[in-house]
Amino acid sequence: MSYAGLIEVTGRVNDFLNAGSVLSWDARTMMPKAGAGSRSKQLATLAVAARNLLCSDEMKRELDGAEAEVSGTASDSPEARIVAQVREAIDYHERIPTELLRRKTELGAAAHEVWAEAREKADFSLFAPALTTMVDINREMAQAIGFEEHPYDALMYRFEPGTTTAGLKTLFARLREGMIPLVRAIADAEKPHSDFLFRDYPVDAQMQFALKMAKRIGYDTDRGRLDTTVHPFEVSFTRNDVRITTRVATDYMPMSLFGALHEAGHAMYEQGVDPAYTRTPLATDLISLYAVGGVSFGAHESQSRLWENHVGRSRAFWANHMGDIKAAYPGILDDVTDEEFYRAVNRSEPSFIRVEADELTYDFHIMLRAELEAKMVDGSLEVADLPEAWNAAMKEYLGVDVPDDAQGVLQDVHWSSGQIGTFCNYTIGNIMAAQLFDTATSENPGIQTALDGADYAPLRNWLTDKVAQHGRRYTRDELLENATGRALDPEPYIAHLTRKFTDIYALS
C-alpha cells in the first residue's frame, strides 16, 4: 500500500487502454469489414477490464497508502494530482454499472461499420437503430453519473470537465455576435480564386507531401506514422508511438494536407508529454478511459487547430513553402503564387462538411451538433427526426441545402462510437488556440520572427513548455492561467478571425 504501488497498478490500467487503442486504430485503418463483430467484443473486454482494475480492492488499497504517503506534498504536485485523479475516477466509474459500460463499448465498435456503410450509401435509416440505442445508453449514463441542471452536462464532463449546457449557450452567443457580421460582409465580397485546389492531384504525391509538412512542423516519425482513413484521427500508445491519419481526394488536395497538419498538432501534444508521466494517470484519462496525455479534449484540439490554422494557413507559411508544394506536384501549380494559394486555402464560404469548413464558419457546425446532441439526450428530439432537424439547422446557420445524408447527418464518426458530449471541444479548442498563440507571439516576438523564417521550433518549444509536458497535471483553466494569465477567453479568437478575414476580403 504505497504511492509506488499505485503507480504500478494504474500503469496496468494504462496498458489495457493502450491495447484497446491499438485495436481501434487497426479497426479504422486496416481491419476487414468482417472483423467488426469480434473486434467489438475484444474492445469491450479491454474497457471493462480497465474499469474493473481501476475500481478493484487492490487499487483502493494502494490508493489509501498513496494518499497517506503524499499528504504533505503541495496540492498541485504530480504526486498529489495523481492521487486525487485516481480517487475521482474511482468515484465516477462506481456510479456507472459495468454492464452499461460493456454495452456501450460493444455497440460503439460494431456501430462504426454500420455508420460507415450508411455513410457510403447516404442512407441514415441504416444507422438510425444503432444511434437510437446509443442515445438511450448515454441517457442511462447521464443519470448514473448525475447532474444538476441538464443530462448533457454529465456527458460533457467526460471530455471537458466543468463545461455546462448553460455555459455553452453563453459562449456560443458571444461567438455568433462576433462572427455573424463577418460572415454577412464576406457574402457580398469578391471571392478568392481557388479552382487550382480542385485539379488532379495523385494520391501518392499527396501522402508524401502531407507527411513532409507534418514532419516540417515537428511531428516525429521515429515515434509515429501516417495512414489513410475515412475520418482522420490521431491515436497514441504512449508518447513513443503516436500515429496520425488523413484522407485523400484526388480532386481536392487541401483535404489531405490540412488533415495531416491538424492531426500532427494532436500528435505533438502526446509526443511532448513529460517522459516521467508515461503509463501514469498524468498520461491516462481515467474518466473517459482513454490513454491520452491531454488535460481535456478541448485542450487537445487547441494544439491541432493552432498548427493547422494559425501556422499552416498563415501567409508566412505559404511564402516559405510554395516552392515545396510546387515541387511536390510538378506542373500542377506553376501558375499559382503564394499569395493566391494563401487566400484560396483561407476562403470562407458555407459548406456541408465540418472537417473541410473554413475557420470562420467552422464553429457554426459545432453549435449545430452540440445543440442537437443536447436535445437528443433530454428527449426533446427523437433520433428518427434528426436528419430533418440537422438540415433545418444547416439552412438557418449557414444558408445551405444539404443534398444527402452522407454530406449531412452521417458525416461524423463520433456518434457511432458513443462520443456524445464531445463536439463542444472543437470550439473550445479554437478559442484556446487563439489565446495561446496570441500570448506566445505577443510576449515572445522572436516566435513570430522565427515563423516568418520557417523555423517552427521556438513555437513548438513554447507549447511543449506551457502545455504538452504537463500532461494531465493541471486542469484546463489552470493550464490556461499558467500559460496566458487568464481562463478561457473568446476575445483573442474573435480578434484573430476579424483581422484575418478583414484582410483577405478587403472589408472596410
pLDDT tens for each residue of 321-352? 999 999 999 999 999 999 999 999 999 998 99
pLDDT level of residue 98 (50, 70, 90 thresholds): confident
pLDDT level of residue 355 (50, 70, 90 thresholds): confident
Mean pLDDT over all residues of the chain?
Answer: 95
Cα gap 97→90, rounded to integer Å: 12
Q: Residue 298 in contact with residue 156, Cβ under 8 Å?
A: no
pLDDT for the residue numbered 110: 84
Under DSSP, the state recorded for 97 is: -
Strand boundaries in 361-496, DSSP class E:
none
Query: Please, is 73 exposed, middle or buried when counting C-beta atoms within 10 Å of its C-beta (0-12, 13-18, 19+)?
Result: middle
Q: For residue 50, which of 297, 300, 284, 283 has the smallest C-alpha distance?
A: 284
Torsion of CA 321, 327, 329, 332, to 10 degrees: 90
pLDDT level of residue 387 (50, 70, 90 thresholds): very high
Q: Residue 145 in contact with residue 96, Cβ under 8 Å?
A: yes
How many Cα neighbours within 13 Å face the side chain of 60? 8
The secondary structure of the chain in percent helix, strand, coil, rounded to multiples of 5, reads 65, 5, 30
Q: Give the mean model confidence (pLDDT) for residues 182-211.
A: 95
pLDDT for the residue numbered 1: 82
Reported as a single tens digit per residue, the pLDDT across 277-317 is: 999 999 999 998 888 989 999 999 999 999 999 999 999 99
Cα gap 66→4, rounded to integer Å: 8
Place of cell 502531407: 210
**392: CB partners within 8 A, 6+ apart:** none
**252: CB partners within 8 A, 6+ apart:** 197, 198, 201
In 3-state terms, what secondary structure has residue 402?
coil
pLDDT for the residue numbered 508: 77
In 3-state terms, what secondary structure has residue 220?
coil
Cα gap 321→364, rounded to integer Å: 31
**449: CB partners within 8 A, 6+ apart:** none
Under DSSP, the state recorded for 244 is: E
Q: For residue 420, which of 38, 244, 160 has the smallest C-alpha distance?
A: 160
pLDDT level of residue 101 (50, 70, 90 thresholds): confident
Residue 108 has pLDDT above 80, yes or no: yes
Measured over the CA atoms of residue 395, residue 367, residue 171 and residue 489, the dihedral's sign is negative
Place of cell 484575418: 500
pLDDT for the residue numbered 187: 86
Q: Residue 197 in contact with residue 358, Cβ under 8 Å?
A: no
Query: Please, is 63 exposed, middle or buried when counting C-beta atoms within 10 Å of its C-beta (0-12, 13-18, 19+)?
Result: buried
Give the C-alpha distances (Å, rounded to integers) separating 375 from 159, 174, 252, 272.
18, 21, 35, 38
pLDDT level of residue 37 (50, 70, 90 thresholds): confident
How many Cα neighbours within 13 Å face the side chain of 155? 29
Residue 462 has pLDDT above 90, yes or no: yes
Length of the chain: 508
**Catalytic residue positions, numbered:** 263
Cell numbers representing residue 358 in the block: 473554413
Domains of the chain, first to last: 3-120 (no CATH), 171-350+423-504 (1.10.1370.30)
pLDDT for the residue numbered 33: 84
Cα gap 56→174, rounded to integer Å: 45
pLDDT level of residue 105 (50, 70, 90 thresholds): confident
Give the orientation angle of helix 165-187 with respect to helix 359-378, to 10 degrees: 140
Q: Residue 78 in contact with residue 277, Cβ under 8 Å?
A: yes
Q: What is the DSSP code string of 471-500? A: TTSS-HHHHHHHHHSSS--SHHHHHHHHHH
pLDDT for the residue numbered 29: 92
Longest dimension (CA), the chain: 69
The pTM score is 0.92
Cα gap 62→480, rounded to integer Å: 32
pLDDT level of residue 86 (50, 70, 90 thresholds): very high
Give the C-alpha distances (Å, rounded to integers) separating 53 from 2, 255, 450, 489.
17, 41, 47, 38
Cα gap 35→28, rounded to integer Å: 11
Residue 146 has pLDDT above 90, yes or no: yes
Cα gap 355→278, rounded to integer Å: 31
pLDDT level of residue 227 (50, 70, 90 thresholds): very high
Q: Residue 25 in contact with residue 243, Cβ under 8 Å?
A: yes
Q: Residue 292 in contact with residue 300, Cβ under 8 Å?
A: yes
Residue % of the chain over a pLDDT of 70: 100
Sheet holding 234-236, edge to edge: 226-228, 242-246, 234-236
Q: How many Cβ atoms sit within 10 Å of the Cβ of residue 499? A: 10
